[in-house]
Amino acid sequence: MKIVVIVRQAPAPNLPIEYDRWLGGVDPDDIVYTTSPGDLQAVEEAIRIRDSQGQGTVTLVAIAPAHVETVLQHYLSMGADEAVNICDRHLENSDAYGLALALYRAIRKMKYDLILCGAESVDDCGCSVFLGPYLAEMLGLPHLSGVTKIEVPAGSREVIVRQKMERGDRGILRSPLPCLLAVEEGINEPRYATFPDSLNSLRKDIQVLDLASLGLRAEELGRSGSLTQVVSFSPPRGRVKKGLVIDTKLSAAERMKIVRSGGLSSRSNRRLLSGEPKELVEEIAAILKSQGIIS
């Protein structure tokens, strides 16, 4: 079985990223890229399907700058057979439609039985949840999203999947091959790439494609070819906390009570009474009279 997996790079989540007011966004040189969690599990699932079938190949297709190919090497170290990287500066600022168009031009020439991708990707695209549907529509393939389990019966030309639905429901769907599946995060536990696996990945070929080799023009991609445009980009506004103002006419005990409660008033009319029994009886009687319970 020939499986193609769409992989992306994502900003490292543990490293701080600062907003540059002069650039009107984030400086690309400040971003450190790593693997995308959803794509890691898509690659793991593809390797498991290939191994269960006993034959086949796993081909990775990525859109990444040249300096991010180390991320692609990590996917290869998991056990993928080969990789294709679409690298062209005119792809910058492309939305999900532009990226899907470039992927379509690269994948349509390949032989494949199944295409996998992550349901969502924490990348700089901002709308990569649409990447799978766009690509499936261009290739004319059935598309299933929210996939939590994949079964490919031996010798069959169909795939059986479990799909995540609303309110925690699960659906069992059957689709003919070839098709495109967007796997949900948590479908499996990605394997750990050992040091020998990392060394072997350096020997695997990464085919680099540009727009000319895909038959695309620069104006078809990037900002000019995108169906969506970023209107503005700014950091969130800071929230000013309201200070606690205490009436100075209150007694020290009452002021301390307000400070301890944070200025929150009780939602009920309950009162805590204390004192000698005779005083409590008189106070309770006064409360009952004020409420009209007794005369």
Contacts of 147 (CB under 8 A, 6+ apart): 119, 161, 162, 163, 164, 181, 182, 183, 184, 187
Query: Length of the chain, please?
Result: 295
A 10 A CB-CB count for 145 gives 18
- Return phi, psi of residue 255, to 5°: -65, -40
Distance from C-alpha of 157 to C-alpha of 57, rounded to nearest angstrom: 17
| pLDDT at 151 (0 to 100) | 93
| pLDDT at 113 (0 to 100) | 94
Which helix (H) or strand (E) segment holds residue 283: the answer is helix 277-290
Q: Do 119 and 146 contact (CB within 8 A), yes or no?
A: yes
The residues facing 181 across adjacent strands are: 116, 144
CA 102 from centre of chain? 21
The structure tokens listed for 239 are 């929230």
Query: Is 258 buried (19+), middle (13-18) or exposed (0-12) by CB count in 10 A?
Result: middle
Q: Do 69 and 46 contact (CB within 8 A), yes or no?
A: no
The structure tokens listed for 25 are 């966004």
pLDDT tens readout for residues 217-267: 888 888 888 888 777 766 677 776 666 677 778 888 887 877 777 665 554
Strands (E), the chain: 2-7, 9-11, 19-20, 25-26, 33-35, 57-63, 82-86, 114-118, 143-151, 158-164, 170-176, 179-183, 206-209
pLDDT tens-place values along the chain, 295 residues long: 899 999 988 777 777 767 666 665 666 666 777 888 888 999 999 999 999 988 899 999 998 887 778 888 889 999 999 999 999 888 887 888 889 999 999 999 899 999 999 887 665 555 567 889 999 999 999 999 989 999 998 888 999 999 888 877 789 999 999 999 999 888 999 988 888 888 888 888 889 999 988 998 888 888 888 888 777 766 677 776 666 677 778 888 887 877 777 665 554 556 677 788 888 888 888 888 888 888 7
- What domains are there in the chain, each with its CATH number? 2-225 (3.40.50.620), 252-290 (no CATH)
